[in-house]
Structure 1
Amino acid sequence: MHATLSRIPVPDLAAGKRVERYLDTLTKPPGSLGRLEALAVQLATLTGADFPRVSPPGVLVFAADHGVAEEGVSAFPQEVTAQMVANFVAGGAAINVFARQIDARLEVIDVGVAGELDGQGVVPAKVRAGTGNMTRVDAMSLDEATRAIEVGIQAADRAITAGCRCLIVGEMGIANTTASSALLAVLSGEPVSRVVGLGTGIDATRLVHKQRVIERAIAARQADPSQPIEVLARLGGLEIAAMAGTYLGAASQRIPVLVDGFIATVAALVACRLSPSARGYMIFGHRSCEPGHDIALRSLDATPLLDLDLRLGEGSGAALAFPLLDAATRMLSEMATFSSAGVAGSDARS
């Protein structure tokens, strides 16, 4: 992990400036494509390329279980994690549909599912069989948190070696909104009541219970917010750690990452606390319905591309946003300039 952190380069501001000037030579009024132009500049800045590419994309879905599920914080039983992994492998989940739509390479990684997974199609990288119940014990050890981060770094490396030019990171883990809310409350300093939402669809009574469980866990674990790896180990999840690792691994190779919803953004916050330089390589796909997502986005000074009232996870919202990145790069590489098209440019003096 430390070697990866030391390799994250500074974004190339000069490339962004060159693309900004080039955009004004294309056959359109200056700035008329709005945020798409800003996205093209951002992609140039983080890749260092005047004509960046984001295709083909790679989708990495990390799966793990959470010991805190035994506190009844989710609408679904823990075995759903393994069942949904089987659904990913069979190609029947939302992320499978959206990954096919954008011709993405998809990999499902078991970083901490409680049970053994049958069949082919899952990358085995289990650090441990689910986290501990954070109301009673640390979710994992510092060594386990570091190993889970390394799983994410290695997954990023596999995808990039396979030719992926942009990564989309997703997750599956019953009770992972509980872990994410605990992480966010500690890292942001916000009260638990502001960061906790309905997750996968609990009712109002269970929402109050979920808040109390998180408050108990935070009080019991006493994690130091200035030590992100400690906060991750005491209150986090194995898949959250792996997602953070993927962000760091992608940044170390100048590959953009398209961040999904609430859980993915909390993982991004962890990554940025470990290495602030990683922030420059993140593009935020959508705004989730989870109330804590706005807090996490503000903590990262991030404005997402879409707002579709999504709250599924899996990387689904980021996959839906990917065509905007592709459009931004195609605008640069395929649009004619005023000169090449023989079109008179605007006269700034008129």
Structure 2
Amino acid sequence: MTDELNWLYEPAPTPDQSARNAATARQKRLIKPEGALGRLESLAIDFAGFQGREQPQLERLSVRVFGADHGIAAHGTSRFPQAVTSVMLNIFCEGGAAINVLSREQNADFAAINLGCVVPAGHPGLVDEVIAPSTADFSQGIAAMTYTQLACALNAGRRQSTDSDCFIGGDMGIGNTTSAAAIFAALFDLKVADITGRGTGVGDAVLARKVELIESALEQHYAAFDSPIDILRILGGFEIAALAGAFIASAQRCTPVLVDGFMATAAAAIAGAINLSVKPWLLYAHLSEESGHKLALECMGVTPILSLNMRLGEGTGAVLAVSIIKQAINLHNKMFTFSEAGVPVAD
């Protein structure tokens, strides 16, 4: 691995335990039975630790959507042609996609990043980080990315990390559920059929083809899976690598990450495997309807905030979860304590 990626291994700071302790003590003083607000209490405590203060806030939100095409898509693993990737990147810049609607409601700092499309995307609002028209077809015995391409993608993600209260990374790329399923199968030694889903809603025949392609690829590349970086290079996509880079860089600058669905979780799994210190900075927004997501989250030992049967990607589930976190923080900061309310508490 080149020296330009040494930053991947720099440790992220540990969330502030004293602030977590203070926030936990505050939760016990709030006018409610202890634990009555469930996950809302722990989310507020998490953000206290992230920000190093008893009463945190969530006002500055960064949303970045990374788009790229995949060589594996040549086998017809999606209901949609690869032209859709560039079309959607342009729509993100026009403000007409679901992620745009949700991001505007949160006054988020939004940008879309083009890492390479088979049909070139040409909107002037796109952030240009084009690496190649697509990754290579990893089912043909070759790696999806060269070392240079992988470095470009990881560094592109790093450049999008920001000093904000929370970072959200979204994805767009026809064929990316195949890539993400392959990553999970290799990283966690899973049965391919258990982790592979229908993506854009493909039928049984296409699903069977996806499984066969991934199984064949894993067999071909097995001997080369020496590290998480190798798994990412061989099976990943430019946008998945960029997400992993953005997640690591965000944690290193003490910015928590709200991880979206199946593809973003694959990036988070790789990021945490590359650099263990980033894991405490990653929260998981929702349980995707993509069938393998529940298994992936279980393998990682994490619990999502929401379950709304979503599978759109783009970062949409993560932006929705922001509203829940904001209310958790509002309750934490603004509820009366027992002493403020003049309510006696038994020993």
Distance 1:33 1:148, change over 3 A: same
Cα offset for 1:298? 1.6
Structure 2 equivalent of residue 94 of structure 1: 98
Counterpart amino acid of residue 258 in structure 1: L
Structure 2 equivalent of residue 332 of structure 1: 332
Equivalences for residues 199-210 of structure 1 within 5 A: 199-210=199-210
Cα offset for 1:217? 1.7
Residue 48 in 1 paired to residue 52 in 2? yes
2:183 touches 2:232 (CA, 8 Å); kept in 1? yes
Distance 2:20 2:147 in 1: 38
Distance 1:8 1:223 in 2: 31
Structure 2 equivalent of residue 194 of structure 1: 194
2:338 touches 2:345 (CA, 8 Å); kept in 1? no
Q: Secondary structure at the match of 1:194?
A: helix
Counterpart amino acid of residue 3 in structure 1: W
Distance 2:35 2:219 in 1: 50
Residue 16 in 1 paired to residue 20 in 2? yes
Counterpart amino acid of residue 336 in structure 2: A
1:110 paired residue among 98, 114, 129? 114
2:11 touches 2:277 (CA, 8 Å); kept in 1? no
Structure 2 equivalent of residue 25 of structure 1: 29
Distance 2:53 2:299 in 1: 28
Equivalences for residues 277-296 of structure 1 within 5 A: 277-296=277-296
Residue 316 in 1 paired to residue 316 in 2? yes
Structure 1 equivalent of residue 154 of structure 2: 149
1:16 touches 1:41 (CA, 8 Å); kept in 2? yes
Structure 1 equivalent of residue 172 of structure 2: 172
Counterpart amino acid of residue 304 in structure 2: P
Distance 2:248 2:57 in 1: 20
2:61 touches 2:108 (CA, 8 Å); kept in 1? yes
Cα offset for 1:48? 2.2
Deviates more, 1:178-187 or 1:95-104: 95-104
Residue 69 in 1 paired to residue 73 in 2? yes
Structure 1 equivalent of residue 9 of structure 2: 5
Root-mean-square deviation over aligned CA pairs: 1.4
Cα offset for 1:46? 2.9
1:122 paired residue among 111, 126, 133? 126
Counterpart amino acid of residue 281 in structure 1: W
Distance 1:75 1:255 in 2: 36
Residue 234 in 1 paired to residue 238 in 2? no
Counterpart amino acid of residue 178 in structure 1: T
The sequence identity of aligned pairs, in percent, is 37
Structure 1 equivalent of residue 252 of structure 2: 252
Structure 2 equivalent of residue 344 of structure 1: 343
Cα offset for 1:226? 4.5
Distance 1:292 1:2 in 2: 32
Cα offset for 1:143? 2.5
Distance 1:6 1:345, change over 3 A: farther
Deviations 1:284-342 (A, max 9, x none): 11001112211221222110011111111000111111111111222232222233x34
1:54 touches 1:326 (CA, 8 Å); kept in 2? yes
Counterpart amino acid of residue 101 in structure 1: E
Q: Secondary structure at the match of 2:133?
A: coil
Distance 1:171 1:337 in 2: 42
Q: Could you state the TM-score of these two structures normalised by the residue count of structure 2?
A: 0.95
Deviations 1:163-191 (A, max 9, x none): x3111110000000000011110001001
Cα offset for 1:222? 2.5
Distance 1:41 1:225, change over 3 A: farther
2:248 touches 2:271 (CA, 8 Å); kept in 1? yes
Structure 2 equivalent of residue 212 of structure 1: 212
2:81 touches 2:174 (CA, 8 Å); kept in 1? yes
Distance 2:34 2:222 in 1: 52
Distance 2:19 2:81 in 1: 49
Cα offset for 1:263? 0.7
1:186 touches 1:223 (CA, 8 Å); kept in 2? no
The count of corresponding residues between Structure 1 and Structure 2 is 342
2:82 touches 2:119 (CA, 8 Å); kept in 1? no
1:223 touches 1:234 (CA, 8 Å); kept in 2? no
Distance 1:2 1:330, change over 3 A: farther
Counterpart amino acid of residue 324 in structure 1: I
Deviations 1:8-29 (A, max 9, x none): 1122222211110011122222
2:8 touches 2:245 (CA, 8 Å); kept in 1? no
Q: Secondary structure at the match of 1:346?
A: coil
Distance 2:9 2:333 in 1: 32
Distance 2:123 2:298 in 1: 41
Distance 1:141 1:32, change over 3 A: same
2:193 touches 2:211 (CA, 8 Å); kept in 1? yes
Cα offset for 1:43? 1.6
Cα offset for 1:134? 0.8
